Amino acid sequence: MNLTLNVKLISPKARLPEYAHEGDAGLDLFSVTDTVIQPGDVALVGTGISIQLPPDTEGQIRPRSGLALKHQITVLNSPGTIDQGYRGELKVLLINHGKEPFPVACGTKIAQLVITPIHRVRVKTTTKLSDTDRKDGGFGSTGI
């Protein structure tokens, strides 16, 4: 299925999101600002774009594995959700878990945008849920 993602460039420094390789799930997002993220600090980094998602989809902002491995930079609220009706600038909340300052230059690949389908549900109250083998087993219930 081919869907169209409408992208508005709202900064002269903005780049269109792009797939690095055929078959990739995520579109690379690029910074339009220069900043340095100090160890332990958080930065809200602009991409200079706004988008119009296809119907019945959401955008997910996800970390880049190379930034995480090499520099301990990740997306703080991962995955960040972009709702279908949002038309503001896409910004990425990055955190530096490393020991060294991390420079973000204009044009740096800072995150990935994955477009996923969403399903709207009808919410209703009930007094009984179906039984399962797991029951209410949660955190750590299956061992290490």
Taking the alpha carbons of 107, 110, 115, 118 in that order, is the dihedral positive or negative?
negative
What is the token pair recorded at 36? 């340095």
With residues binned 3-state (H G I as helix, E B as strand, rest as coil), the percentages for the chain, rounded to 5, are 5, 35, 60
Return the bridge partners of 50, or none. 8
Is pLDDT at 56 greater than 90 in this prediction?
Answer: yes
Q: What tens digit of pLDDT does each residue of 102-124 get?
A: 999 999 999 999 999 999 999 99
| Residue 21: per-residue pLDDT | 96
Question: Tokens 């993220």 appear where?
Answer: 37
The residues, ordered by sequence, that sit 6+ positions from 103 with a Cβ below 8 Å of its Cβ are: 34, 35, 36
pTM: 0.89
Helix (H, G, I), strand (E, B) or coil at 69: helix
Q: What tens digit of pLDDT does each residue of 84-93 get?
A: 999 999 999 9
6-117 classified as CATH 2.70.40.10? yes
Inter-residue contact 61 to 92 (CB < 8 Å): yes
Q: What residue ranges do the domains of the chain occupy?
A: 6-117
Element (H, E) at 92: strand 91-96
In whole angstroms, give the CA distance from residue 83 to residue 99.
34
- The whole-number average pLDDT for the span 93-102 is 98
- The whole-number average pLDDT for the span 20-43 is 97
Instruction: Write down the mean pLDDT value for the chain.
Output: 95
